[in-house]
Amino acid sequence: MSRLDDELSNELKKALRREEPPVGFEGRLMARLSSESKRETGLARWFKLALPRFPMMSRLAFASVLCLMFVAGVHYERERQERVEGEAAKAKLMQALRVTGTELQAMREKVMASSGDRAAGE
Amino acid sequence: MVFSIALHYLHDRESAEEVAQDVFVQLYRQRDRLSGPGHVTAWLRRVACHRSIDYARSHRLDPKIGLEELAEPASEERPGDPMLREKLRKLILSLSEKARMVMILRYQEDLDPEEIARELEMPVSTVKSHLQRSLATLREKFGRALGGSLG
């Protein structure tokens, strides 16, 4: 690097040196932060109280529990629907059996009646 | 650091304070997610850069000064001259937004190109190219004044 580059680099460091914030910056910031903290109520505060330590881990655990509850809910609903459908199918089958049983009985009675007539004729 | 990045980028104390306050409020909101002073410093620097760029875009604070409008430094201006530094600042302000931020991170924060690339989420080669082009422009514009005293 040439002396010119060194000098330019030094001048740039001086031109871009860190500047202090204006007087009163800290006070104005604290005022904003205190109004900000007042807004932290309700659910946000509850979350902070409920998950005070290891926030990231706790949130992940909380999210996992929610996911698990959702999956379990979907599974339960599917099972309930299958049970309802199964019961409806069973009821239909029973009705069909009852109808068939009645018809069989009528048929048997007819057969008995006709065989009784034949025996009487002989 | 935060106020200074915004000030050098925006060249306006009031806007720089607004950006710096916003950055600290954001830090307060996200305090649970940050751990350790090193992490906080890096976070503050990154957010200050991006907030300054966003602020300039949304408030249309792009500098009106073109390179050709900047006067050549007078021959009596020498290294260490406050007028020369102010002209350097104005010249930096006339650079493109990314090039300007690269120069601020290089010379205010003393970061190397790899660190700047991480902060600004751009390839290292782009950072180096910005630095080279900006320095070439500055050298051309101020070389005479800076070189004059060096003989």
Nearest CA in chain B to A32: B25
Yes or no: say if B103 and B19 are a contact pair by the CB < 8 Å rule.
no
pLDDT at A96: 83
Q: Which among B2, B8, B148, B13 has a CA at the least distance from the CA of B85?
A: B8
pLDDT at A47: 62
Distance from CA of A64 to the nearest CA of B (A): 19
State chain A's mean pLDDT as an integer: 80
**Over 80: is that where the pLDDT of A109 sits?**
yes
**Over 80: is that where the pLDDT of A64 sits?**
yes
pLDDT at A8: 82
For chain A, report the end-to-end CA distance as a whole number of angstroms: 136
Residues 6+ apart with CB under 8 A from A5: B135, B139
Residues of chain B with pLDDT under 70: 60-80, 143-151
Distance from CA of A61 to the nearest CA of B (A): 16
Mutate to test the interface with A, among B5, B10, B17, B134 (most CBs of A within 10 A): B17
The model carries a pTM of 0.59
Q: Which among B132, B11, B2, B149 has a CA at the least distance from the CA of B80?
A: B149
What whole-number distance in Å separates Cα of residue B75 and Cα of residue B108?
A: 27
Yes or no: say if A18 and B108 are a contact pair by the CB < 8 Å rule.
yes
What whole-number distance in Å separates Cα of residue A97 and Cα of residue A120?
A: 34
pLDDT at B149: 45
pLDDT at A116: 78
Residues of B with CB under 8 A from a CB of A: 1, 3-4, 7-8, 13, 17, 20-21, 24-25, 28-29, 32-33, 79-80, 84-86, 88-89, 92, 103-104, 107-108, 110, 135, 138-139, 142-143, 146-147, 149-150
pLDDT at B114: 92
Instruction: Inspect the interface and report whether the beta carbons of A25 and B7 lie closer than 8 Å.
Output: no
pLDDT at B64: 45
Three-state DSSP class for A15? helix
Q: Which residue has the higher pLDDT, A54 or B82?
A: B82
Domains belonging to chain B, first-starting first, are 1-64 (no CATH), 79-151 (1.10.10.10)
CB atoms within 10 A of CB A19: 16
pLDDT at B151: 37
What whole-number distance in Å separates Cα of residue B106 and Cα of residue B92?
A: 12
* Backbone φ and ψ of B99, nearest 5°: -65, -40
Yes or no: say if A11 and B88 are a contact pair by the CB < 8 Å rule.
yes
